[in-house]
Structures are given as C-alpha cells and as structure tokens.
Amino acid sequence: MDVVRLPKKYRDLCGVLTDGGEPDPKLFDAFREKFPHQAAAVEAELAAFRMDWETVLEKTLVILPFLREWYYSNVPAQQMTLLAFAARQLGREEEAKTAFIKERESLLGELPEADRRSPYYTFAGYMLEYLETGTMPYDEELRYADPEEPRTVEELRAELTSKERESKAGRQKLLNLCCLYGTAADALALYEELAGEGTVLTEMWHRYAVQRYLYLGDREGALRAAERWGASRLWAAASPTQVRPVCFFQHPMLHPFLTDPEVIGRLQGSGFSQDKGAVTS
C-alpha cells in the first residue's frame, strides 16, 4: 500500500480546518472524491470534537484497512484510538473488536514472522485490550504520586552548573529534575513560570502538568495546561489531516474532559490559536 501525499490545495484545505475555519464545500467534495480515506480521517477528527461518536465510528471503520496510506504511525494510532473510544461511548465494542481482529489477521498474513510485525498490528492489539478491559497504553498517567521522599527545588538546583541556572535550557533541566524527584507543586510552579514567560515547551511538559494538576485536585489548572498543549500545535506535525488534537484521546487522564461538551469545546478552541502556546491565564 502506497503512502498518499496530498496536493497543496488539499493541504491548504486541511489548514483552514485546523485554524477553525470553514473550507469551500465544493473543494471538500472534491477532496472526498479524490482522497476518500484522508477526507474520512479529517471528518472523524472534526466529529470527535463535536462528540458525534456515530460519525467517528463510521469514518474510522472505513479507513481502518487503509491506515498505511499515512507515512507516520502516530496518525494511524490516533485514528485507531478514536475508533475504539467511539465504540465504547456507543456500546459497540464487539463491532470494533471484530474490525481490529480482521485487520490484525490481514497484517499478519502479509508479515507472519513475529519479529517483523508492524506497529499497526501492535497498536491494534492495544486497542483490543482497551475495548476488553478499558486499559490504554498511557494508563500509568492515572497512577501518579509524589515521591515518598521528594527532594526540594534548592537541592535539585544545586545539581545545575552556574551557567545552567541562568538559562532557560537549564531551568527546563530543573523542571525535568523536579518531575523526576520533586513534588507536583514544585514542578508546577516552575512549569507555570516558564509557560508565563512564553518558553516553548514540548508536549511532554504539558502532559506532565495536566497529570500533576489532576493529582493535586486542580481540574481548572489541568484544563489550562491541556489548552496550552492544544495551542502549541505540536499535535499537528505528522500529517495535514491532523486538524484537531486527537492525541488527547490517547490519554485516559483527559477522557473526562473529552466527554464534557463545554470542556471539549475549550480544548478544540485552544488549537485554533495563532499565537502558539499563548494560553497563560
């Protein structure tokens, strides 16, 4: 199966959607006709942030056998996650399981040797487990706790060189040390300081912030960190068809937000920001 590369006019169409705009309906109709699987992926993402689980399931079931048309495997992983998540919302787990089993059998028929099984085969297995047990690969995020003997910020800062203590890179190193060995409160204080200064933070830092805010019982703080994650547009780097931050669905700690009509609207809107990472309040 060949990787599909979209012409510029369809990449631009996806860009309009990513920015929260409305594309030319005739152009979108042409997109559906010429690239039905890519158009279906876009429509599934849009539907997910409307909580239209019927459409999400319909579109993702259509494209499941064609996910190798994307070059990077994180896009198929996100689409599989949407499929499984929508099926659970609708109580149609058995239908989704059947589809995943069939796809795994097809993939195994192409590459039967165990050491050559594709990431698609492996991830479909993760989704079968999720449909059966409710457990996802990132479930460990739900079990965060402060270290039994946390180290203080000053103790961790002492591990930096004098040059690192004065630089943003050094402070990000300190944030990493706080996340590993310090308390959630100390890590979040430094995260907020860096974010407030407009420091470009990777997806990992926003994810850690959401996790630690939830641990402390601060739902609004967690949502604010998720909005920063959305505004960063780091989720849209692999394909033009990534028009919404559907990577959020891969994180069980965010699932309560993604089934709340008001909150999911905030998360969708954060991705429309033209000032990347600008959510500061």
Q: Is pLDDT of 115 > 80? A: no
Q: For the domain 8-137, what is the CATH code?
A: 1.25.40
CA distance 46 to 44: 5
* Angstrom distance (rounded) from CA 126 to CA 136: 7
pLDDT at site 273: 54
The backbone region for 35, taken as left when phi is positive above 0, alpha when psi lies in -120 to 50, beta otherwise, is: beta
CA distances from 223 to 71, 172, 228, 260 (A): 31, 21, 9, 12
Is the pLDDT score of 279 beyond 50? no
Give the percent of the chain with pLDDT over 70: 94
pLDDT digits (tens, 9 = 90+) for 224-244: 999 999 998 888 888 999 999
pLDDT at 1 over 80: no
Mean pLDDT of the chain: 92
Provide the pLDDT confidence category of residue 248 given band limits of 50, 70 and 90: very high
* 10-24 residue pLDDT tens: 999 999 999 999 999
Domain ranges of the chain: 8-137, 142-237
Per-residue pLDDT tens for 186-209?
Answer: 999 999 999 998 888 889 999 999
Instruction: Please tell me the predicted confidence (pLDDT) of residue 277.
Output: 39
User: Measured between alpha carbons, how far is 44 from 82 in angstroms, rounded to an integer?
Assistant: 8
Phi-psi region of 22 (alpha: psi -120 to 50; beta: other; left: phi over 0): beta
Residues 6+ apart with CB under 8 A from 21: none
